[in-house]
Chain A
Amino acid sequence: MIYRVFLLFFALVSSVFADVCATDDAGHVLCLPTVAQRIVALSPGATELMFAAGAGNKVVAVVDYSDYPPAALNLPSVGNYTRIDMEALLALRPDLVITWVTGNPPAQVELLKALDVPQFAIEPRTFEGVSSVLERLSTLAGTEQQGFAEAERFHAGIAALSEQYRNAEPVSVFYQVWAQPLMTINNDHLIGKVLQLCGGVNVFGDMPRLVPRISAEAVLEADPLVILTGSVGGVSDGQLDRWKNYSRLKAVARNNLLFVPASLISRPTPRLLEASKYVCQKLDIAREH
């Protein structure tokens, strides 16, 4: 905590006198001559993070599906995160572009580098990573006060939840990312970490791939207590109906086909805290069934 205050102080002071620097998630150090004023976010998660870091009014463009916070809907789009309109991007004369390590096309990112456009690659993989990225983004944008505060709020919230569920009864969970083909996540994925936080045991947590494609048989064999998936607003939709055919499944027998709001849990942003609270509550309900 004290360490954070010192860091904040240094950041504030040094931003007045020297280059603004930060290390991105690909390990590169980016130094800007002054705080960024015109920022382009090349993923919906990056958009959310910029607003959470207090730099929402400095974002000049986003990509499709950047729907949170609602203010982002008014910003112009430069295409899809898999295919960016480079001309539109350059025409906005950005002084900082936030890229997604594994999501944006490498060839276009290389082109940005070749054209000397300052870019910062992010890909938070842990809760700590989310806090850290908030701090670094706010440093680059010169909004350290809001950014660091938000990072602290998030960190504290996650820590509290973690403490609360430290001794919770373990619940086996299958998280369904996609129905056709059937996809799930392992414990390296942020969603996997949310499950672990709430005392959930991801039945596919040890799989080598981040987003494995599995068969229905594997799920039947694992027989989880809970089957969880993301939906719009957390409402019950048809995505888990197929499991109702297997009445012997514990999750079906005990009515544990559960939903969580997709946009909360799918992005590496401070809203993961709400997502975690939601999931933890759902798992509590499942424990009682």
Chain B
Amino acid sequence: MTRSLSGLAAIALIAVLLALAIGSVTIPPLELWQVIQGEGSALNRTLIVDLRLPRTLAAFATGGLLAVAGALMQVLLRNPLADPYILGLSGGAAVGALLAMLAGLGTLLISGSAFAGAMLATFLVFGLAHGTGSWTPTRLLLTGVVVAAGWGAVITLMLAVSPADQLPGMLYWLMGDVSYARTPWPALVVLAVSIVLIMPLARNLNVLARGPMQAAALGVSVRPLEWAVYLLASLLTATAVTTAGSVGFVGLIVPHMLRLVLGNDQRIILPASALAGGTLLVLADTLARTVIAPEQLPVGVITALLGVPMFLYLLHRSR
């Protein structure tokens, strides 16, 4: 277990260093080392410390958050096709963010609005799916899909009526964009704390994945565990979407790929998802800002273009 995690951690570190070195201005390793030590030219320092470092850390945190949330949702719903957005979280966050943009609020309030929207969406789905006293994964999924469609309609309406000059900003937010993240620390802290909180519950999740009845028969308190995991997954997703808009694919593909390679033990999959998801998004973001520079691409496009062939290859090999 520790071998695979150390390997992933090493890859993550390399990805971060690459992201710091590569950009519209390539910084050779020697100069990068100088800046890390606290010296180096003023331009390099600005580029690395003020621009690339916060952006890279934000990308890492966002990717990690989405991948862990995806892994949790897949176990919770016992469905390998679940992703963090399946219950309409990103739709709620989007409506919150777009409303704030329309109202002309500053970036901090836009983020806060997105977060509030995401949590509202969570409670809405949970409340609606509760029904006659219990919710099954199917009921939750159906409710989530319908509510997500509802948010989609609201978003479309907002795009249709907003002033023409606001549209590009709104579209970039919807496509997922790490460049807006001013500070990575909230996201990193949430990620770290969540991993610490979830690890003692990881074996319970392994048992829960066998089915709720079986889990109860083996001593798992199923309802409280499901609630806790769902809330945690929502918090992770809300933080990710608040930081970088709705970045797609990471939450679906990363846990999947890891399961193909590393097996189904959540005690490995959850921390591995954090590392691998972070790495994927860091690499994707580096490509997004350099591949057709000075044009800037939304990172969600790159995650799809990278993630899909990787996944197909692994699927093919696992046959």
Contacts and interface: CB of A to CB of B under 8 A. Distances in A.
Summarize A's interface: helix, strand, loop or mixed.
mixed
Interface string B150-182: 000000000000011100110010000001101
B102 to A, nearest CB: 13
Interface string A31-44: 00000000000000
Interface in B54-81: none
B6 interface: no
A95 B249 CA distance: 41
B47 A90 contact: yes
Closest 3 CB pairs of A and B: A85-B294, A82-B168, A87-B24
Contacts of A80: 295-296
A91 B295 contact: no
B112 to A, nearest CB: 14
Interface of B: 23-25, 43, 46-47, 50-52, 106-107, 163-165, 168-169, 172, 179-180, 182, 289, 293-296
Interface string A66-97: 00000000001111101111111011010000
A286 B225 CA distance: 76
Interface stretch (A101-109, A247-255, A270-278): A101-109
A88 B25 contact: yes
Given A85-B24, A107-B107, A108-B179, A115 B46 contact: yes
A106 B46 contact: no
Contact of A209 (B163, B180, B296): B163
Contacts of A210: 163
A211 B168 CA distance: 15
Contact of B51 (A78, A79, A86): A86
A85 B293 contact: yes
B169 A87 contact: no
5 contacts: A79-B293, A79-B294, A86-B51, A87-B289, A107-B107
Nearest to B44: A91
A281 B24 CA distance: 48
B46 A183 contact: no
Contacts of B296: 79-80, 83-85
A183 B164 contact: yes
Interface of A: 64, 76-80, 82-88, 90-91, 93, 102-103, 105-108, 110-111, 114-115, 183, 209-211
A152 B76 CA distance: 71
Nearest to B55: A86
Contacts of A90: 43, 46-47, 51
A91 B23 CA distance: 11
Contacts of A106: 106-107, 169
Nearest to B164: A211
Contacts of A93: 43
A107 B180 contact: yes
Nearest to A78: B294
A93 B107 CA distance: 26
Contacts of A79: 293-296
A276 B157 CA distance: 37
Contacts of B163: 209-211
Contacts of B46: 90, 115
A212 to B, nearest CB: 9
Contacts of A91: 24-25, 43, 47
A86 B23 CA distance: 10
Which of A85, A103, A114 counts the most chain B CB atoms within 10 A?
A85
B182 A111 contact: yes
B119 to A, nearest CB: 23
B162 to A, nearest CB: 10
Which of A78, A84, A91, A114 counts the most chain B CB atoms within 10 A?
A91
Given A82-B172, A85-B294, A210-B163, A115 B24 contact: no
B168 A83 contact: yes
B295 A87 contact: no
A85 B289 CA distance: 8
B50 A115 contact: yes
A105 B172 contact: yes
